[in-house]
Chain A
Amino acid sequence: MSRMAATRDGYGQALLDMANNERVVVLEADLGKSTKSLHFRKEYPHRTISCGIGEQNMLLTAAGLAASGYIPFASTFAIFTERAFEQMRNGVARPNLAVHLCGSHGGTHTGTDGSSAQSIEDLAIFRTLPNVVVLHPCDDVSTRVLTNQLIKINSPSYTRTARNKTPVFYDGREEMIQIGKGVKLIEGNDIAIIACGVMVSEAMKAAEQLKAEGINASVVDMHTIKPLDTTLIDELVATCGALVTAEDHSVIGGLGGATAEYLSSNNPTPLEIVGVQDKFGESGQADEMLEIMQISAPYIADAAKRAINRKK
């Protein structure tokens, strides 16, 4: 049994990793205990800026800091980042200020708070903004590594993390992780499953199930939604001839949307999109939510078979 951990803990650890860079500042909107920026606050209170419950002000305060030479990391729940979307658009992305926004507790996987807290559109909306890098890592190790890499990019970013623990894949494999490069976790020639976030472990389970049925699946962790690793997608099309995407996010505009946009214009290939079907969630445990939203491993396996049947 692999180690279990939550991606938000990787974010909190990364802030500490970067703390010796005096330009790193952290902004909170009364959710530091949840997003895990609290560890940084404890050690470096003078570089932690409390914004109260005011996400719009937080985003632009971060922009002012970035324009003054600092490297701000701001976090709140994924759902509340959406409240500051226009601030992100006009005050951060448009002037291309390197503000790093993290939305924790993303997706329906966040569970029993119910639909008001389950962001299923964050990846889609932030992906539409020019200049913005969009990340959705699958474990604490990759979240830590990717967040540390953000300090080197000179553009804004949005990172979605998750509340609940999921299996860890990257212990001892940190060097595989790079912004903009998907990671092939399993090699197979019949179908490629491209997943992000908490759905990577579901994709791994689906691949096991398919293997028992004689189908060899590739599984890719596409932690970077934007810029999308289209080189890897082309490679998967060449080897597998059909694709499935899997995300705890609306089927509109997220990883599936981004993949479909690329394929339809450049490399038409059968694609099945596993995600939330344009509806809101409800209160439930994480595993129950994946089930009721029809995005858990068996649904990915079914989608894989449908995609294979569509190959010419």
Chain B
Amino acid sequence: MSMAISELEELARKCRIEIIKMVYRAQAGHPGGSLSEIDLMSALYANYLRVDPKNPDWHDRDRFILSKGHASPGMYAILAEMGFISHDDLESYRVLGGVCQGHVDMKWCPGVDFSAGSLGMGLSFGVGCAVAARLSNSKRSVFVMLGDGEIQEGSVWEAAMAAKHHELGNLKVILDRNRIQNDDFCVEQMRMFDIPAKWKSFGWDVKEINGHDMNEIVEGLDFLVSNNGNPTILIAHTVKGKGVSYMEDNPSFHGAAPNQEQFDIAMRELGEVIV
């Protein structure tokens, strides 16, 4: 049962509220990259990913690897909305013993396929999952979400090369191109020049979209899932902190929590009624 565009937008709005609440409660975490990725992940989980919240370890499920594992509030929010974990579980974010570890962890949280947190690792893991799917004659797909700062890690390009060498048409990447990394704008930290050309030159099929326009996201994900020849990357142009005015395009909110006043502003902007 596929969600309509307006329903996907509403799903993402609810996730945004949970993201801000998680980071506010923990007074730590990464709101910026969670807000930039969440429109994409909402559409992916709701309409594309072949997974079963009641059976998260179902062997033949599609895999989703959040390689930018620090943007975990976004992942936990969508996992809660899809029913992998409860909304109460979201209160365990960064809390001792909680299923919602600081960075997504497959040993702690149902629905998490890779223990991330160290950048540059998810695509290689995805290559392994994609090779395994092919060895098993399975039609399952492997989705990997990369951050844009993350592709400065050299090992990402080892994986990109391997994916084409092994003709992994079942490997599908979404690049969250929010232009900001930990310390500053990417362009200040390490210029990456023509990112689409780089992937094309590695033999990947590339499509660019606006990662906050739900119509374009659906079009992009349709392309991603239908293309089974080459490994495919959807480069989603996003805004870090999207949806909360003072976080938008602001490197300070890569990894910082809002104070109470900022929290109230965020809730108002996201349409959440505080009782």
Contacts and interface: CB of A to CB of B under 8 A. Distances in A.
A49 B195 CA distance: 28
A24 to B, nearest CB: 11
Given A57-B155, A94-B115, A96-B107, A64 B129 contact: yes
Nearest to B126: A64
Interface stretch (B2-10, B13-21, B160-168, B201-209): B160-168
B136 A68 contact: yes
Contact of A90 (B113, B115, B129, B162): B115
A63 B131 CA distance: 11
Given A56-B158, A67-B114, A91-B118, 9 more contacts: A57-B158, A57-B159, A63-B128, A65-B132, A66-B128, A68-B132, A70-B132, A70-B135, A90-B118
Given A50-B165, A60-B124, A60-B125, A65 B131 contact: yes
A72 to B, nearest CB: 8
A24 B127 CA distance: 17
Interface string B244-271: 0000000000000000000000000000
Contacts of A61: 124-125, 127-128, 131, 159, 162
B28 interface: no
B129 A57 contact: no
A70 B135 CA distance: 10
B158 A64 contact: no
Contact of B129 (A25, A50, A54, A67): A67
Contacts of B130: 64
Nearest to B166: A49
B77 to A, nearest CB: 22
25 contacts: A46-B135, A47-B135, A49-B166, A51-B162, A54-B162, A57-B124, A57-B155, A57-B162, A60-B121, A60-B125, A60-B127, A61-B159, A61-B162, A64-B124, A64-B125, A65-B128, A65-B132, A67-B125, A69-B59, A69-B136, A87-B124, A91-B124, A95-B105, A95-B106, A95-B115
Interface of B: 59, 105-107, 113-115, 117-118, 120-121, 124-133, 135-136, 154-155, 158-159, 161-162, 165-166
A64 B143 CA distance: 13
The 7 lowest CB-CB distance pairs between A and B, nearest first, are A64-B128, A68-B132, A60-B124, A57-B158, A54-B158, A61-B128, A56-B155
B127 to A, nearest CB: 5
Contacts of B117: 90
B93 to A, nearest CB: 19
A62 interface: yes
A45 to B, nearest CB: 12
Contacts of B159: 57, 60-61
A287 interface: no
Contacts of B136: 68-69
A216 B236 CA distance: 72
Interface in A70-98: 70, 72, 86-87, 90-91, 94-96
A86 B115 CA distance: 13
A268 interface: no
A18 B166 CA distance: 24
Contact of A60 (B59, B113, B128, B135): B128
A69 B132 contact: yes
A25 B124 contact: no
A87 B121 contact: yes
Interface string A270-298: 00000000000000000000000000000
Contacts of A49: 131, 166
B132 A64 contact: yes
A65 B124 CA distance: 10
B121 A67 contact: no
Counting chain A CB atoms within 10 Å of each CB, the highest count among B107, B118, B128 belongs to B128
A130 B162 CA distance: 29
Contacts of A91: 115, 118, 121, 124-125
Contacts of B115: 90-91, 94-95
A64 B133 CA distance: 10
B105 to A, nearest CB: 8
B98 to A, nearest CB: 17
Contacts of A54: 155, 158, 161-162
B124 A52 contact: no
A50 B167 CA distance: 13
Contacts of B158: 51-52, 54, 56-57
A258 to B, nearest CB: 26
Interface string A7-42: 000000000000000000100000000000000000
Given A54-B155, A96-B107, A63 B125 contact: yes
Given A61-B131, A64-B132, A67-B114, A56 B124 contact: yes
Contact of B135 (A25, A52, A96): A25
